[in-house]
Structure 1
């Protein structure tokens, strides 16, 4: 009888939850938000962070975006050392920005530079949502404007990848001014008859979607990306109507004429190369 008691305890013994968690190293596995399948991070990265089961596009860093978009070792970064000031003396803003710099290895929420695609030169900017949720402050706006000016100077196409929560609230009206600033600079690019391709990724919202991200000569987006200005709940409360389930997705915007094409991440480089090549050919014929 005593032996049976001990054997039952041994049979029902469980590994403590804390110990079980420690046995799986952090960052080894990832769970797809769409289909809930679990896969190795290494395998996911090999597939450009696209779920092999359902095709869900996970967020990627600026570095990963450049790696799967431009020609290898062709990137020359601009204005790398620019960092945000604190015009409003907003509580803990400097500290949080510094934390993001350490965490991401980036100086700000956008990386800009010159690169080549299929051997053709382009000016490219890639936002990174890990840094203050990709919000657009004074430095992000300034780096975009300088990239536009560089495109004008070198007569190159401009490609901007958006991933943003909108304007940066910690910089108040200074942040909101970047909407007009970037839009005005793009007007000059348009007058020079230079190509601007805007690629909206998940998420592209607020002041970014309401300014430069929507002003491309060609507007592209990745599948099922959240794109919009105000949040769903605020809109529903304002209009007192239930919105469609796919509202503010790239597919919804495509259907209603606000996008030119929804492009799978695996096809994005090829699509951009085609657009850049078409633009170059048009210049030569003139």
Structure 2
């Protein structure tokens, strides 16, 4: 051992300071580094450019519903009915997703009130297998609608999905007509059905219950569409316009009623419920 190592090893070094890896967040839009606590306190909206980040189902329910709301249990369905396997087994993908999430699947329903106005809110969590729509999501959506029918109140759905869950094949696609039937039952009962479109809302979800609301709200910059932009562009062989499939573009062309900042979403939703809630018979 040379003299430098001997001296270095005998020096009374203090313990190495540790730095939290999650101390900073890099905004995917403006690429600026934002203090994580500031980002979280701002509802995961970039304070520099206003980009709306993705948030989980539990946090979304807490943002929209009054305290004391009830969370409905996620329904249990047959898992891996097709014994599907791609690069790994479907059962392994489910285990991996559940290890990162407090819930068994991608759709969570809360029953309570928004500023005192009764409502049932269903939220898709993009963090669970891209919010993909399988049998559990379809059944949870339907049970949320049943809850709203039972309470005679509005049903609000916050969408965020990459589409149907391919590992369940035709069984996942069958959730589209199931959900559509439930939206029809809400309409026949005279109950409001409101959809809040968040980033991203695509595929079979867009082709079914995401576009069947009485009113459609969207968060700024949310990607909303059926097929991807590259697929559309390669099919029609034309350059797509700037902002295509974004919330503002859909609002301009009449597919979205309002683009609402996340900070204003709860108040806007409460106002809409006040306008639309069913009136008691005289």
- TM exceeding 0.5: yes
SS across alignment from 1:224: coil
Is 1:61 aligned to 2:59, yes or no? no
Q: CA deviation at 1:285?
A: 7.5
Aligned to 2:69: 75
Greater helix share, structure number: 1
Q: CA deviation at 1:78?
A: 1.3
Is 1:36 aligned to 2:31, yes or no? yes
Candidates 228, 233, 248, aligned match of 2:230:
233
Residues 24-45 of structure 1, C-alpha deviation per residue, up to 9 Å, x if partnerless? 4222210011111111211111
Residues 253-272 of structure 1, C-alpha deviation per residue, up to 9 Å, x if partnerless? 00110010000000000000
SS across alignment from 1:227: coil
Candidates 227, 238, 243, aligned match of 2:240:
243
Q: CA deviation at 1:245?
A: 2.2
Structure 2's unaligned 5+ residue stretches are 1-16
SS across alignment from 1:193: coil
Aligned to 2:218: 221
Cα 1:93–1:191 shift into 2, 3 Å: same
Aligned to 2:173: 176
SS across alignment from 2:64: coil
Aligned to 1:52: 47
Q: CA deviation at 1:59?
A: 0.6
SS across alignment from 2:121: strand
Residues 212-241 of structure 1, C-alpha deviation per residue, up to 9 Å, x if partnerless? 011100011000000000011110111111
- For the 8 Å contact 1:83–1:108, the answer to whether it is kept is no
Distance 1:156 1:198 in 2: 15
SS across alignment from 2:159: strand
- For the 8 Å contact 1:86–1:171, the answer to whether it is kept is yes
Tell me the number of residue pairs that the alignment of Structure 1 and Structure 2 aligns: 265
Aligned to 2:156: 159
SS across alignment from 1:90: coil
TM-score of the two chains, using structure 2 as the length reference:
0.90
Instruction: For 1:180-219, list aligned pairs within 5 A.
Output: 180-219=177-216
Is 1:86 aligned to 2:80, yes or no? yes
Structure 1's unaligned 5+ residue stretches are 1-21
Q: CA deviation at 1:108?
A: 0.5
Aligned to 1:96: 93
What is the alpha-carbon root mean square deviation over aligned residues? 1.8
Residues 91-117 of structure 1, C-alpha deviation per residue, up to 9 Å, x if partnerless? 211111111112111110010121111
Q: CA deviation at 1:81?
A: 5.4
Q: CA deviation at 1:190?
A: 0.4
